[in-house]
Amino acid sequence: MDQANPYEAKRRALQEKFMDGDAPKEGAVGTGGVHHLVLISSDLQATVSFYTDVLDMRLVKVVENRDDPTSTHIFMDMGGGNMLAFFDFPEHGDAPTVRGIGAMHHVAIKATSAQFTALIARLKAQKIEYSLHGDEVVGSVYMRDPDNALIEVNSF
């Protein structure tokens, strides 16, 4: 391993072992993409308000959680055939998730330049804290949802 930068040596080793050239092959994966990701919400009404009012998503489905009849499972349309879903667990307390192995770091959502510009305007109008990398047309913007999940929206 590279003694000067062992982290870079690990990155190179991963690339050499698992990547087949620089460009991905068309149709080379064994899945059809993301159907939905599921996060846990402490307050579904606040969650739906944030994702509809700030990120301009649509609530498309509300059902009982198959694994827990006291829990509700909601689905937000993210566009592109992808959904972001949420569970609540009203009978299980509200301990926040901590960063660690197996935990999600953030959700990254893609946007067109027009969608990105409109999002920045909504964040400003609603006085929501955000961090912008790039400019208000092309780049990434990071914000927190009502349960402190880190959400990135990027336009490239």
pLDDT tens for 29-68 read 788 888 899 999 999 999 999 999 999 999 999 999 999 9
pLDDT for 3 = 65
Q: Write out pLDDT tens, residues 106-155.
A: 999 999 999 999 999 999 999 999 999 999 889 999 999 999 999 999 99
Nearest to 124 by CA among 132, 134, 114: 132
Domains of the chain: 33-90+105-155 (3.10.180.10)
Residue 21 has pLDDT above 70, yes or no: no
Q: 42 is written with which tokens?
A: 């402490």
Dihedral over alpha carbons 121, 123, 127, 129 (to 10 degrees): -140
- Indicate if the pLDDT at residue 27 is higher than 70: no
| pLDDT tens profile 61-88 | 999 999 999 999 999 999 989 999 999 9
β-strands 82-87, 36-40 pairing: parallel
Sign of the four-CA dihedral 106, 87, 93, 102: negative
